[in-house]
Structure 1
Amino acid sequence: MTDAPIIGKLLVANRAEIAVRIIRTASRLGIPTVAVYSEADADLPHVALADESYLIGPAAPSESYLDIDRILAVAVESGATAVHPGYGFLSESPAFARRLRDAGLIWVGPTPESMEQVADKINARNLMQDAGVPTALGTREPVASFAEALEAAAGISYPLMVKPSGGGGGIGMVIVHSDDELETAFDSARSRAERFFGDSRILLERYIASARHVEVQILGLADGRVIALGERDCSVQRRHQKVAEESPSPGVDPALRARMLASAVRAGEAVGYRNAGTVECLLDTETLEFVFLEMNARLQVEHPITEEVHGIDLVEAQLRIAAGLPVQFDPDEVETRGHALELRIYAEDSKRFLPGPGLISEWTVPHGVGVRLDAGYAAGNRVSVNYDPLMAKLVVTAPTRVEAIERAKAAVADFTIVGPKSNLAFFAELLENDEFVGGRYDTGLVSRMRP
């Protein structure tokens, strides 16, 4: 007789790469899976990989992957007992989590209450500050007018960052260096925040001119403890959005790492966090002081590099925690081994990073020791204009950072995509860049490579 699965049946409320990744772990654990798909995604690998698949609407996300009523109806119709939201779409929607919970389904993620606490950047900053987590000098209340912004700026000093209180992905953030710039930036940030997030509230925060973007993976366990699973360096960014990550960070020494991990645990404890989450920080490259940036109440795109260096399946951990079970490893004895890099393979050009969707006519992927590919597409699939252009995540692991970079070079050279544009040529350049290879880079690296 075999043990019963952790969860009866799992619906994956997402698409492409992350849906494939979740379905694979669930299948390994003997959990039947349910995929959902839009009309544009009918031929994608995640649809065929699941045990059952349901069409949920047209290509537009608002009519498919963001349609709570339709996804809930499929969950009930299919007999699913749990829902994993992946990342993006409804993954950080307290309303979705509550609807599922009220319907008697297991939500594979943090509580809706925790999500609400950290979704608002102003509230999250204040909570972290009160919990003793380092934060940048900034406003504790929304800035309602330009006059208030001027007054706040005088107390913070330039340069500073104008940020929407809601939303994420760098949308609406503007760096300003003077009162004149502030007026334009304030109006622009409010307008974009209202348009993208339906929330025009703005905060001001001291801007760190030379910073690394370093984040810590946390897990809120079923027994109430919060643990930290190392850090990831996410400083390779274009337009404030990540394109490559690595773990461990070459800019973090053991003493700094211990401080960052301890702060991340305090951050999770401050909101009673359960399941997988990430505490994002900015690390000043000159002072080596770090400050809280935000908390992501979901599984991150870049989670595979944490899995590779610690030998942990984070999706399995999520499922076990959601089911009220202990994780599959000893939380007090987490192994660390080697170095991992993740390169996000986007359907975009390598110079200006503009989207270039299309039909994939050739898809030849790299293989070998230490090479992992989490992909949402294959030859014959079409990359749609309706969704984020991420096609795959190329993850390489090796005993040392130098070896990981060399392994990544070979993997990039062995990867062929014909049809849509791809940023493979950018990665070939990045892996030869002196700043990156030397580990001395910050969030301005890509802008220096593409002035």
Structure 2
Amino acid sequence: MFSSVLIANRGEIARRVIRTARRMGIKAIAVYSDADQSLPYVHEADEAVYIGESAPAQSYLDSVLLIDVARKAGAAAVHPGYGFLAESAGFAQAVINAGLTWIGPDPSAIEQMGDKIRARNLMAAAGVPVAPGSAAPVADAEAAVEEASRIGYPVMVKAAAGGGGIGMSAAFDDDALRSAFDTARSRAERFFGSPEILLERYVPHARHVEVQILGLPDGRVIALGERDCSVQRRHQKVAEETPSPGVSASLRSRMLSAAVLAGEAVGYRGAGTVECLVDTETGDFMFLEMNTRLQVEHPVTEMVTGIDLVEQQFRIADGAAVSFAAESVSARGHAVELRVYAEDPRRFLPRPGRITRWQEPSGAGIRVDAGYVAGNTVTPYYDPLLAKLVVHGADRDESLARARVAVAGFGIDGPQTNLPFHAELLDCAEFVSGCYDTSLIARLRP
């Protein structure tokens, strides 16, 4: 096993990777910007290196700088976390070219899955179900209207190179599509450096369900169960759970098999996620995208399987066997993750500020992956995720009951947080029933 790792990220995920690295005896090297110098991960790392200004372009997105820091610090490997450069094929290849171990899939897999159109076509060829949609970038608004007439309304307009729901919107007629197309293209170029747009059939009543996969050093791809990520605001996840209460045993089996096919189609190695939409009216599922990295919501899978996914990333990147019997993975109980943000709990707008009190809940089945403590300041430079509250129980009822107690016991003063929203969600009859879809928050916040 490599002896040291540079974590090319910040906050909660950097702290999470440090925890496993130190348990395994691997030296953890952190990087930090002006805004992050007082955060816990900086002090918990074995070594921390200042990398520049608070703006991501001058720090966490500077791949040349990060590789230079890794070399000078004597790092043998690089873990990208999620976000920033985690799904940059160019950064992955640069790490490899520098003679360092890249803790992630091969750059070719990142590149193939990073383009949604290319990914759709590849998955369809591999036998993975995909929604009706465009097989090539849509040239302009009028071409989009013509394509929509073939696909059938409503359609979803997406950035081909994008993620995080940025610029994504549904259109139900030609006029709405023209407007959505221009907006999506503008945002795609601004945020992702590519104006390419694709259209897909929009499923009005859908669940967002993803499958955790691991590509092993011996070439096999295995699935570690599914996560339901349907609680979303502005196409961005807020809460996740496993197993999905909306997935039958038969559907689960088909989805896991399709996810394995998806991983095999690109020779996948390491931890990845195959995201799908499930049509609640027909019971059909379809490929959405593949995230070629560790997901924010990976802890719920860890809670039900007992598998440390970061440890497996380290092992697979080093060519070693995983630490569990890949042929007999079983899930125990139910887990829920609630993302705690510094944001207005009604409109979900960021609310940065200094944290004057931080009191984490504790008890049976409760895990908190946090990026902050009292005295830290949440700045406007980065995503306002404060922590992930993860709760495990023997079944869904117990995990939700424990989650209610944990939310009530999570004390944060200073910036506004969305903890009041989570309290409301956990008492929402639709969520508690398990019969919800991606428009749940829209109904709670009309």
Q: What amino acid is the match of 1:203?
A: L
Quick check: 1:311–1:335 contact (8 Å CA) kept in 2? no
Which 4+ stretches in 1 moved above 6 angstroms? none
SS of equivalent to 1:237: strand
Cα distance, 1:99 vs structure 2? 1.0
Are 1:309 and 2:315 counterparts?
A: no
Say whether 1:167 aligns with 2:135: no
Q: Tell me which of 132, 136, 140 is aligned to 1:137.
A: 132
d(CA) in 1 for partners of 2:197, 2:69: 38
Matched, 1:156 2:151: yes
Distance in 2 (CA, whole Å) between partners of 1:67 and 1:149 is: 35
Tell me the distance in 1 between the aligned counterparts of 2:188 and 2:11: 28
**Secondary structure at the counterpart of residue 312 of structure 1:** coil
Tell me how far apart the structure 2 counterparts of residues 156 and 302 of structure 1 sit (CA, whole Å): 32
One-letter amino acid of the structure 2 residue matched with residue 368 of structure 1: G
| Counterpart in the other structure of 2:186 | 191
* 3-state SS, counterpart of residue 92 of structure 2: helix
Secondary structure at the counterpart of residue 153 of structure 1: helix
Structure 1 residue 109 and structure 2 residue 100: aligned? no
How far off its partner does 1:148 sit?
A: 1.6
Shift of 1:147: 2.5
* Alignment match, 1:385: 380
Conserved? CA contact 1:231–1:247, under 8 Å = yes
Show the counterpart of 1:243.
238
Matched, 1:212 2:210: no
Offset from partner CA, 1:258-302 (integer Å, 9 cap, x none): 000000000001111110000000000111100000000000000
**1:78 is aligned to 2:70:** no
- Give secondary structure in 2 for the equivalent of 1:129: helix
Asked if 1 retains the 8 angstrom alpha-carbon contact of 2:3 and 2:25, the reply is: no
Gaps of 5+ in 1: 1-5
Aligned to 1:274: 269
**Is it true that 1:441 corresponds to 2:441 in the alignment?**
no
| SS of corresponding position for 1:213 | strand
1:146: how far off? Answer: 2.2
Match of 1:3 in 2: none
Q: Is the 8 A contact 2:142 2:178 kept in 1?
A: no
CA–CA separation in structure 2 for the residues paired with 1:149 and 1:351: 34
Cα deviation, residue 66, structure 1: 0.6
- Aligned mates of 1:199, 1:66 — CA distance in 2: 17
**Residues 191-200 or 397-406, more deviating:** 191-200
Q: Which letter does structure 2 place at the counterpart of 1:77?
A: K
How many Å separate the matches in 2 of 1:26 and 1:119?
28
1:119 & 1:448 partners in 2: Cα distance? 32
Kindly provide the amino acid, as one letter, of the partner of residue 212 in structure 1.
R
**Residue 413 of structure 1: aligned partner:** 408
Q: Which position in structure 2 is the counterpart of 1:200?
A: 195
Measure, in 2, the Cα distance between the counterparts of 1:153 and 1:390. Answer: 36
Q: Over residues 422-443 of structure 1, what are the superposed CA-to-partner deviations in whole Å (9 max), with x where a residue is unaligned?
A: 0000000000000100000000
Corresponding residue for residue 11 of structure 1: 6
The 2-side partners of 1:149 and 1:45 are apart by 48
Q: What is the match of residue 26 of structure 1? A: 21
After superposing the two structures, state which structure 1 stretch, 64-73 or 229-238, moved more. 64-73
Q: TM-score, normalised by structure 2?
A: 0.99
Q: Distance in 2 between matches of 1:49 and 1:32?
A: 11
SS at match of 1:37: strand
| C-alpha RMSD of matched pairs (Å) | 0.6
TM-score by length of structure 1 reads 0.98
Letter matched to residue 314 of structure 1 = L
- In structure 2, C-alpha distance between the alignment counterparts of 1:315 and 1:190, rounded to whole Å: 35
SS, match of residue 26 in structure 2: coil
Which blocks of at least 5 consecutive residues in structure 2 are unaligned? Answer: none
Identity, % of aligned positions:
63
